[in-house]
Amino acid sequence: MPATVLVGTQWGDEGKGRFTDLLAKEMDLVVRYQGGHNAGHTIVVEGQSFALQLVPSGVLYPHTVPVIGNGVVVDPAVLLDECAMLERRGVDTSRLVVSGNAHLIMPYHYELDLMTERFLGHNKLGTTKRGIGPAYSDKAARVGLRVQDLLDGKIFRQKLDVVLREKNALLSRVYNRLPLDGDEIAERYLEELAPRIAPMIGDTVGLIHAALGRGERIMLEGAQATYLDVDHGTYPFVTSSNPVAGGACVGSGIGPRDIDRVIGVVKAYVTRVGSGPFPTEVDRETADRLVDRGREYGTNTGRRRRPGWLDLVMLRHAVRLNSLSDIAVTKLDVLSEFERLKVCVAYEGPDGERYEHMPYHQSILHRVRPVYEEVAGWGEDLASVTRVDQLPKAARAYVELIAEQAGVPVSFVGVGPGREQYVTFAA
Smallest gap from Cβ 166 to ligand IMP, in A, equals: 21
CB of 130 to ligand IMP, least distance (A): 5
Cα–Cα distance between 369 and 309 in angstroms, integer? 13
Q: In terms of CB distance, is 287 or 395 closer to ligand IMP?
A: 287
- 48, amino acid identity: Q
Count Cβ atoms below 10 Å from residue 101 Cβ, excluding itself: 19
Q: List, in sequence order, the alpha helices (H) in 307-381.
A: 312-322, 362-367
**Residue whose Cβ sits closest to ligand IMP:** 274
Whole-number Å distance between alpha carbons of 42 and 416: 13
Q: Rounded to the nearest whole angstrom, what is the least distance from the CB of residue 240 to ligand IMP in the complex?
A: 6
- Identify which of residues 37 and 217 has a Cβ nearer to ligand IMP in the complex: 37
Q: Minimum Å distance from CB 31 to ligand IMP? A: 17
Give the shortest CB-239-to-ligand IMP separation in angstroms. 3
Distance CA 138, CA 294 (A): 37
Contacts 24+ apart (CB under 8 A), 367-374: 368/279, 369/279, 370/279, 370/280, 370/309, 370/311, 370/344, 370/346, 371/344, 371/345, 371/346, 371/347, 372/309, 372/342, 372/343, 372/344, 372/345, 373/342, 373/343, 373/345, 374/340, 374/341, 374/342, 374/343
List, in sequence order, every beta strand (DSSP E) within 128-249: 201-202, 218-221
CB of 223 to ligand IMP, least distance (A): 6
Q: Per-residue b/e over 186-225, b at no fewer than 16 CB within 10 Å?
A: beebbeebbeebeebbbebbebbeebbeeeebbbbbbbbb
For ligand IMP, the closer CB: 40 or 253: 40
Nearer to ligand IMP, 19 or 425 (CB): 19
CA–CA separation, 393 and 329 (whole Å): 16
Nearer to ligand IMP, 278 or 422 (CB): 278
Catalytic position from the list 41, 109, 232, 317: 41
Nearest-angstrom CA–CA distance, 149 and 156: 5
Identity at 421, one-letter amino acid code: Q
| Type of residue numbered 325 | S
Which residues of this protein are in contact with ligand IMP, per CB under 6 A? Answer: 11-13, 38-40, 125-128, 130, 132-133, 223-224, 228, 237, 239-240, 273-274
* For residue 236, cis peptide bond before it (omega within 30 degrees of 0): yes
Give yes or no: 41 in active site.
yes
Q: Which is nearer to ligand IMP, 137 or 424 (CB)?
A: 137
Q: Closer to ligand IMP at the Cβ: 110 or 355?
A: 110
Task: Say which residues have a Cβ less than 8 Å from residue 413's Cβ, sequence separation at least 6.
Answer: 328, 329, 330, 332, 391, 399, 422, 423, 425
Contacts of residue 270, defined as CB under 8 A and 6 or more positions apart, other chains included, come to 10, 11, 278, 280, 307, 308, 309, 310, 311, 314
CA distance 17 to 299: 11
User: Which residue's CB is nearer to ligand IMP, number 238 or number 312?
Assistant: 238
Provide, rounded to whole angstroms, the least separation between the CB of residue 11 and ligand IMP.
Answer: 6
Cα distance between residue 387 and residue 355, in whole Å? 36
Considering the candidates 13, 229, 258, 311, report the single residue annotated as catalytic: 13
Residues labelled catalytic: 13, 41
